[in-house]
Amino acid sequence: MGLRERKRAEMRQRIVAVAYRLFDERGYDETTVEDIAEAAYVSPRTFYRQFTSKDRTLPEIALPVLDRVVAALGPDASVPELAARLAVEMEHALDHPHAQVLVRLLREDPRLVEHAPSWRHLWACRMQAGFAASREGRTHPDDRLRATTAVTVVGLAIEEWLRGSASTITDLVDESLRYLGAQHAGPPADGRSAD
């Protein structure tokens, strides 16, 4: 990563940290882009060059988690391996103060959960980029499918957990993976449902 990219990444991290602090102190709806920009010592225009809206600061905290998963498993890991590891890493990340703020915001304002599909897309793209970087820029035809499937399985488990499931994120992911495995195997030979 060159100097310019490093400075841009540091600025994005600073903006995200400030946004989370303000969301925690003032509330999500009460915090404006102008508030975030001022507290991060950037102009609103600079903010908008980095993020299309304050909503886009929220999913950023998961990006290092995705990077760790790809680094640990490599670019050719299976969907079950990726989803299981991502679930564990996401649960560990819940100890981070920003994650605690995000969980509280999502539970207090279910409208924010409506952004989850775009967050999952962002996360899947990050995972795909990690796969390619691990292969010195080379992509594989199934990278998009594996990343999107793993991220979707974990994302849906997180949404279920946020709604108050007694199960852990990891347990919900394991359950989803078992279901997908049963669907992949097809119906039992005797014609009964796989459920």
pLDDT at 95 (0 to 100):
93
Any domain includes 195: no
Q: Which domain holds residue 25?
A: 1-51
Model pTM? 0.86
Per-residue pLDDT of the chain (195 residues; tens, 9 = 90+): 788 989 999 999 999 999 999 999 999 999 999 999 999 999 999 999 999 999 999 999 999 999 999 999 999 999 999 999 999 999 999 999 999 999 999 999 888 989 999 999 999 999 999 999 999 999 999 999 999 999 999 999 999 999 999 999 999 999 999 999 888 776 666 555 555
CB atoms within 10 A of CB 81: 17
Final residue belonging to a domain, choices 36, 51, 66: 51
Q: How many domains does the chain have?
A: 2
The per-residue pLDDT for 183 is 80
In a shared domain, residues 21 and 87 = no
CATH code (residue 12): 1.10.10.60
Is residue 157 located within the same domain as residue 84? yes
- Greatest distance between any 2 Cα atoms in the chain: 66
Q: Are 9 and 87 within 8 A, CB to CB?
A: no
